[in-house]
Amino acid sequence: MTRESARLLIVGVGGLGCAAALALAHSGIHLLGLCDDDEVERSNLHRQILFGDEHVGAQKVVAAAHTLRSLRSGPQLRLHRERLLPENALSIVRQYDVVIEGSDNFATKFLTADACALARVPVVHASAVRWIGTTLAVGDGARPCYRCLFEDVPEGFVPNCSGAGVLGPVVGLIAAAQVDLALALIDGVRVEGQLVTFDGRTDSVRRRDIASRPDCALCGRTPIIRRIDPATYVLPAYAG
């Protein structure tokens, strides 16, 4: 695979997704997909750098595409004006060579992880809350995977960046690290299992390799996740 032929998908066009999309627009990739069903809110603007006041109320994927197309050069764009859900996850991720996941809830994160593992598509996960950001690269063999770190969708309410807050520069730095890992996968660099963590309070970056868990439900010796079961990915964020 080359960058000139590579197809990347961004799941979640929020703070991480916007910064990642802008970086990828200058990377020489062939196709960039954007997947989100949300609309731009004024409270997004301090960290979601593809949006301005004129985009408030618009669909995020449409507003992001408008900004990206205003650049002198960039990849072809494919818009998925929908949330990644159990009924569409496999069909969407199979259209791409690498997935970049920057959603704001665990249901979507685990769904993306499982769908990419089943479709054998590499994925780079990322999250940022308050001062802390992390990103993890997972290869097409899905070992180690997201479930090696976080076994399953947590029960009860878990604060995301909207509720707990996030520092804008943390989002930008983690998105840059996420894109770096995604492009490394495209370039054939072995970064599978690399975890990058940034702590904005101490201005420290840590990069380390994680090991797969032998009992991991997704990539372990006897995996039990062999299909997308909608009951697995239920959180309050899916209601309404």
Concatenating the DSSP letter of every residue in 162-213 gives HHH-B-HHHHHHHHHHHHHHHHHHHHT---TTEEEEEETTTTEEEEEEPPPP
| Cβ-contact 191, 102 below 8 angstroms | no
At 72 the pLDDT is 78
- The mean predicted confidence, pLDDT, of the chain is 92
Question: Could you say which residues of the chain have pLDDT below 70?
Answer: 155-166, 235-240
CATH architecture of 7-230: 3-Layer(aba) Sandwich (3.40)
Share of the chain above pLDDT 70, in %: 92
pLDDT at 237: 41
Q: What is the pTM of this model?
A: 0.92
Q: Where are the domains of the chain?
A: 7-230
Contact present, 103 and 11 (Cβ < 8 Å): yes
Model confidence pLDDT, tens digit, residues 19-71: 999 999 999 999 999 999 999 999 999 899 999 999 999 999 999 999 999 98
- The C-alpha atoms of residue 238 and residue 235 are separated, in whole angstroms, by 6
